Structure 1
Amino acid sequence: MSVHIDITGLRRERIIAVTSPLAELGMALHTLSEPGHHPGLQAWATGVTAGLDLHLADRMCEADFLWRTTFSDLFLPYAGIPGRSALPGATLAEDLDLLDKLSDEQFVDAALEFTCVPSYGAPGPAALTDADTGRRALELAAARGPRQLLFSERLLTDPPSTRAWLRQFLEDCDEAFFADTWSRLSHQLAADVRHKTDLLRHKGLAEAMTSVSSSVRLDEAAGRIVVDKLGEGRTATVDGGLLLVPTSLGRPHLMVLHRYGWQPTLHYPVSSPELVPPPSVEQLTLRMAALSHPVRMRMCRSLARSAFTTGELARTHGMSAPEVSRHLSALKKAGLLLTRRRGRYVLHQLDVAAVARLGSDFLEGILR
């Protein structure tokens, strides 16, 4: 499973790494709503939450479906500007001005992304102008609670006032906590943008994509960028470009904006180099399957304590050597086995560190 970005005919100068205050504010709101997704930021989230005005905290709940579930495309509005060449603003105010430039239909469809998504990757009826689509959106919103239903009703009946409410809310968040946060984070993001730009200029797209994430690769033969995610999606740069937008608050989320008609955008987390890159979805599946077998689970109990030869495992578990070899092969293919030679014997041992990471790897894989 993966998201594919067709880059056929894309010129290098149309691939742009750039910071976005609004995108980072969106991720800040997500982190405050779902601190469990970001264990490394819980101290920051706790500090901000403790200092929030109660009225602002209550307003934060009114439209939290725009950022709690994942991350609304409204926080990347420049991608929806006609011409597919707009860039984020240098300030939050400039980004919010770009948000104001989206049509009401674009704004409503992006805001209802998590309750009405059948046409996300393809042209389809707009919830604001198609009665059936709008009615379906309200039905789905009702199933998610009265707050989401109320906001969705306001959105469909009076888009201008709802847009004004959202802009004012985001400006109030900036005054309350985000301006300070952005002043501390923007330098790191700007440094990453310079690094990506330098890689694109001197090393090429393949190396730049690897630098974005080990889950992103360039398939030159097919003319596409492939993002390893637990989901499917397709988009194309066509006559537009590709935006690379870094986030300091976003790990482990690697977002790919692939909304139909919008400029493809990679919203990726900036972090220090990892000693061990996260496994691909395929590797993660192999590891979960390898450990789920009851015989291999019993073998892992032995292998976690010491190194064994195939013959020793066969005697310990009352199995034939070929049977043991098949189970060891499955563990090795999944990257969970350490093997070393001692004279004419081959010793196998469980990679305890890899198994210990499996919980966090699984969580990162499904949140990516």
Structure 2
Amino acid sequence: MNGSLGKQARVNKDIAANAVICPVAVTLLLPAADLRSITVRTSPLAELCACLHALDEPDHHPAASRWVARVHAHADEDLLSRATAWAPLWSAFRARYLLPLTAGPRRALDEELQDIEAIPLDDFETMTLQALIGKNNAAIGDGVLHRLRLISSSRLELGTLVRRDAAGFRGRLLDFLTAFAEAAFTPEWPAMKVVLEREASAREWDLHRRGPFALADLPAATAGDGRIVLDKLYNATVQIDAQRPCLLVPTLYGQPHFVVKHYPRYPVVIQYGTSPSTAPSLETIRHRLAVLQDPTRLRLCYAILRNPVATSELANQLGMSAPQVSRHLRKLREAELVHVHRRGSVVYYQLDAAAIERLGPQLLSVLYR
């Protein structure tokens, strides 16, 4: 019986480890050389909704703090109340229609709002419900309102309204976006636009010079074998070509989020911050967490937290051989969780306490992205 329990414990441990390191990502399959399928464009609609998100969740959008303060100081209370009511549409999972729906030339805000009005109601309703649920390809069937009830009353209310009258829902949303833009966004847009167009021009030049794989410079992106892999907390694979172009949209106030949208029959849109991300990749975070899962490595961390300790002394303290200790220390070193000091022929290890402490904020930053 004890043997069976021990075996099950090992199986559970393996499952937990695999859950930490199992890769999840959005994979973009790139055209061989056709740059026409990848474009860069500023979008007042996308930036308006990034601003609205920052207004709803200001704590992790320090770049927007002054704008948020101005809005609270000058905006009409009814307008702020309406912004809160609509906020689930530009929460962590943005409604697809709140980013550009076409990959053509730059468009004014009123043109982008007209694009929302022009999409089929079925698409509008599905995009809305997926945003409220917070999942790509979420099944929008009879049980959707029950799912929303389990998430929040505000999302249930919006889901019920769009299910009951999608056209009326869309009209009221567009009225709000127009009113909010006039009151709090349009006066700010010219200054934002200068920064965003400068970034867009630099990105366009980089694409022209280096080809599609310039996308690997985006936050949490890696390139290889005809594809770009983007760190996201779900799996998807999308072919980028003339029929399904990719549109890059820089954002000033949307940082630190990294938004990827790939709704069928519409361009793939990537909204990324104008400032380089300082957060490590999701894979780096997974690796560090996996390294720290091992009980022996945790004991080592405790032993080297306050002072540098030599390998031989660690072996004595832990009752292990020096080669065993060295293998565990190598894992901690590869994960960049220890400092290494050499005094003569002796090597000492000390835990990088700051790196351990940063794992919390860094993990949070990756999740926000």
* Cα drift, residue 193 of structure 1: 0.4
Decide which moves more: 36-45 or 48-57: 36-45
Task: Give, as a single letter, the amino acid of the residue that structure 1 aligns with 2:358.
Answer: R
Total equivalences in the alignment = 345
Q: Does 1:367 align with 2:351?
A: no
Which structure 1 segments of 5+ residues have no match?
80-84, 128-132
TM-score (norm 2): 0.84
Q: Paired residue for 1:236, among 239, 245, 251?
A: 239
Q: What is the distance in 1 between the residues matched to 2:31 and 2:63?
A: 38
1:163-209, Cα deviation, whole Å (9 max, x unpaired) = 11111101111122112332332211111101111111123322x21
1:218-273, Cα deviation, whole Å (9 max, x unpaired) = 32x2x2221022221122224231111111112221111122222111111111x4
Instruction: Please tell me whether the aligned partners of residues 142 and 148 of structure 1 are also in contact (alpha carbons under 8 angstroms).
Output: yes
SS in 2 for 1:16: strand
Instruction: Please tell me whether the aligned partners of residues 205 and 218 of structure 1 are also in contact (alpha carbons under 8 angstroms).
Output: no
Instruction: Please tell me whether the aligned partners of residues 291 and 297 of structure 2 are also in contact (alpha carbons under 8 angstroms).
Output: yes
Specify the alignment match of 2:16 in structure 1. none
* Cα drift, residue 77 of structure 1: 4.2
Specify the alignment match of 1:107 in structure 2. 124
1:301-359, Cα deviation, whole Å (9 max, x unpaired) = 45343333211323445543233223212211222123344332223232344323212
Q: What is the distance in 2 between the residues matched to 1:340 and 1:104?
A: 64
Q: What is the distance in 2 between the residues matched to 1:164 and 1:10?
A: 41
Instruction: Please tell me whether the aligned partners of residues 307 and 347 of structure 1 are also in contact (alpha carbons under 8 angstroms).
Output: yes
SS in 1 for 2:234: coil
Q: What is the distance in 1 between the residues matched to 2:183 and 2:69?
A: 14
Decide which moves more: 23-32 or 68-77: 68-77
Task: Give, as a single letter, the amino acid of the residue that structure 2 aligns with 1:324.
Answer: V
* Cα drift, residue 32 of structure 1: 1.5
Task: Give, as a single letter, the amino acid of the residue that structure 2 aligns with 1:209.
Answer: L
1:21-60 → structure 2 map (5 Å cutoff): 21-60=44-83
Q: Does 1:263 align with 2:267?
A: yes
Q: What is the distance in 1 between the residues matched to 2:33 and 2:82?
A: 42
Q: What is the distance in 1 between the residues matched to 2:104 and 2:348?
A: 58
Q: Cα gap change, 1:318/1:28 in structure 2, threshold over 3 Å: closer, same or farther? A: same
Decide which moves more: 285-294 or 98-107: 285-294
Q: Cα gap change, 1:183/1:108 in structure 2, threshold over 3 Å: closer, same or farther? A: same
Q: Paired residue for 2:181, among 165, 171, 174?
A: 174
Specify the alignment match of 1:4 in structure 2. 27
SS in 2 for 1:112: helix
Specify the alignment match of 2:281 in structure 1. 280
Specify the alignment match of 1:78 in structure 2. 101
Q: CA RMSD in A?
A: 2.6
SS in 2 for 1:63: helix
Q: Cα gap change, 1:309/1:181 in structure 2, threshold over 3 Å: closer, same or farther? A: farther
Q: What is the distance in 1 between the residues matched to 2:64 and 2:300?
A: 38
Instruction: Please tell me whether the aligned partners of residues 27 and 250 of structure 1 are also in contact (alpha carbons under 8 angstroms).
Output: yes
TM-score (norm 1): 0.84
Instruction: Please tell me whether the aligned partners of residues 132 and 155 of structure 2 are also in contact (alpha carbons under 8 angstroms).
Output: no
SS in 2 for 1:240: coil
Q: Cα gap change, 1:88/1:108 in structure 2, threshold over 3 Å: closer, same or farther? A: farther
Q: What is the distance in 1 between the residues matched to 2:43 and 2:328?
A: 49
Specify the alignment match of 1:130 in structure 2. none
Instruction: Please tell me whether the aligned partners of residues 33 and 211 of structure 2 are also in contact (alpha carbons under 8 angstroms).
Output: no
SS in 1 for 2:130: coil
Q: What is the distance in 1 between the residues matched to 2:106 and 2:165?
A: 27
Q: What is the distance in 1 between the residues matched to 2:111 and 2:252?
A: 20
Q: Cα gap change, 1:86/1:137 in structure 2, threshold over 3 Å: closer, same or farther? A: farther
Which structure 2 segments of 5+ residues have no match?
1-23
Task: Give, as a single letter, the amino acid of the residue that structure 2 aligns with 1:37.
Answer: H
Specify the alignment match of 1:82 in structure 2. none
1:78-118, Cα deviation, whole Å (9 max, x unpaired) = 14xxxxx44551x2112111111211111111111135678
Q: Paired residue for 2:257, among 229, 250, 253?
A: 253
Identity of aligned residues (%): 32
Q: Does 1:188 align with 2:189?
A: no
Q: What is the distance in 2 between the residues matched to 1:210 and 1:308?
A: 40
Q: Cα gap change, 1:244/1:99 in structure 2, threshold over 3 Å: closer, same or farther? A: same
* Cα drift, residue 16 of structure 1: 0.6
Decide which moves more: 102-111 or 153-162: 153-162
Instruction: Please tell me whether the aligned partners of residues 130 and 136 of structure 2 are also in contact (alpha carbons under 8 angstroms).
Output: no
Q: Cα gap change, 1:264/1:47 in structure 2, threshold over 3 Å: closer, same or farther? A: same
SS in 2 for 1:225: strand
Q: What is the distance in 2 between the residues matched to 1:306 and 1:47?
A: 49
Specify the alignment match of 1:212 in structure 2. 218
Decide which moves more: 335-344 or 12-21: 335-344
Specify the alignment match of 2:339 in structure 1. 338
Q: What is the distance in 2 between the residues matched to 1:319 and 1:9?
A: 53
Q: What is the distance in 2 between the residues matched to 1:231 and 1:119?
A: 9
